[in-house]
Structure 1
Amino acid sequence: MKPRIHVMHEFATDGMPLSCSYIRLLQPLQHPSIAAEFDISSGLMLTEEAVDAVIVERLWHPHRMTIAMAEDLIATIRAKGAKLIYTLDDNLLDLHRDELHSGFPSEVDRLVVRLLLQAADAVIVSTEPLQQRCLQFNRRVFVVRNQLDERLFPVLPKPRDHDDIVIGYMGTFSHFDDLLSILGPLRSAMRRHQGKVRFEMVGITTNRAVLSLFEGYPYRIVHTGNDYHYPNFIPWARRELCWDIALAPLSDRPFNQYKSEIKYLDYGLLGFAGIYSDNNVYRTAVRHGENGLLAKDDAGWTEALDMLITDRNYRHQLVHNAFADVSQHRTWATQNVHWRDVLHQILD
């Protein structure tokens, strides 16, 4: 009989899974490449049915878990005779630790993460640096890198064939500091190529002070409307985001060293020529000048922007190479063996 696994994913106040839940858990574990070997269920609450393992994601509950809730969840899973698998894709142990006015994560959140890490029979994370951080609390920490569901990206979008250039940046509000880190090179590029370049953002920030820095430049905030849930967001992005160049800066702060290269995967399959921060996160995937450009400092970002703004053929080459790379090597169709092998190791 197939092992039965129940996934308790993070969910928003409307009850829908978060984007990271779709990417990290629901899509790979419901993918045909793994469904034949495991009986997977998922939901907002713990199932009453017998299961071999329960996967608990991050802080799980949108109204914040308390220590008592976490202890009760652990005890209930143990009483079912199931193994507890904890998953984490960000270093919530240290995020905003030195920022007195940050509301997330709270000290209680950190204690809950630590408790779940210590209680888990195994932990699954997305990067090697995060694995090293979690090994301080649990000796069984496995890395399953982020991949994407190829079914959402059936073909490479046709490249834009216009003289104007659209530069884009998308992400959650947690990337606000990352935008600030490249504000100078971005503004100077828009100034040098005035009349040819415009800038678009999805998410990132609603800070009026920051947005005022783009006044006088052609830019716009693109709203997803009701298509912000990940399975709807990707078709929306393929339809609505006609970008030539996409940006993926990561500011030099400790939290970012635990991030994954998910932006490269998104941009690669969406057909955008990407510029990425030259750090350990993106060096694992981006080969400079082949499937994207890496930029270390203001001078590097300026050079990369000018190069892609002025050279259409080079942009198209990067797009083609990135799409081929991600399609062949970074989708669940080709990489779900890692989830399968890790789950078998944990359950054996």
Structure 2
Amino acid sequence: MPVAKRLFVVEEHKNPSTDYFIAPYLRELGVSPVYCAFSQVPPPEQLQGAGVIFVRYVPANWSALVERCRDRIASVYFFMDDDLFDWRAFAAMPLRYQMKILRLSWSRRKWLASVGAQLLVSTPYLQQKYADWQPRLLAPRPPLETQAPPLTLFYHGSASHTADFHWLRPVVEKVLARNTRLVFEVIGNASVKRLFKQLPRVHVLHPMPWQSYRALLRRPGRAIGLAPLVDTPFNRARSQTKFFDITAAGAVGIYAQGPVYGGTVQHDKNGLLLPMDQAAWVEGILRLAEDGDLRERLLRGARETLRASACVSGAQ
């Protein structure tokens, strides 16, 4: 594959097809491409001498751009790692997925041929099936990990925490934007999933029975737990059990100032005790995310608090 002086990779969003096939292949060629979501269309002058790779799908705005600028584009490629050109191969898939493939892949076959697109495929099966396209076979490679392992930030609220979910949403948006190492884990129903849908690196877990949740907490990997409390009549009757859950998960907590957590959490000793100010929570989360020694110290303090609480309970 000749290397154009500039290469655009068009993808719906970040996806395994690009990470396992396209990015490693281009890295081996020494190419640093420009990755574009469907809505990101460059000005025509940037396509002079450029190459364009469509990953699985060809959106209408990009096909129109390529048609207008085909004489200045050096090369066009289409990559597929499923059989997207034969409707029989995906006829048993869910209807919505079928329609997506039909609209953005299957219906683009003739158009791709008309603009002289070269086919890139993921398996010998596809290479043989579409041999008339003279496709190039790309081998999968593990993604190149350039960042430190992720840190899991979590909020495990129930359906009764609706106000807290909404209060946290802008906080989570800001910290995910400022620290790309952070991922956010939340337990919630469909409305919670919709609330956080547009944010990157969010994992929404289904609500679960208590015993399942206890087992979940014992699985390692969580770093920072959140326990906000919007001032509502229902929240005023809460207890400090989130402190027990967060500490049991091996995480450090950020807790709302006030009578619920104020009797258990000592700020900067066994957690962070913060006012219900979103900017303060953003800075608190980022401080914990960036300081592993602080997290370890606060977790030791939280575990000592739990041990002391258990001893007092046992003595009574």
- Using structure 2 for the length normalisation, give the TM-score: 0.49
In our comparison, the structure showing a higher alpha carbon Rg is 2
- Using structure 1 for the length normalisation, give the TM-score: 0.45
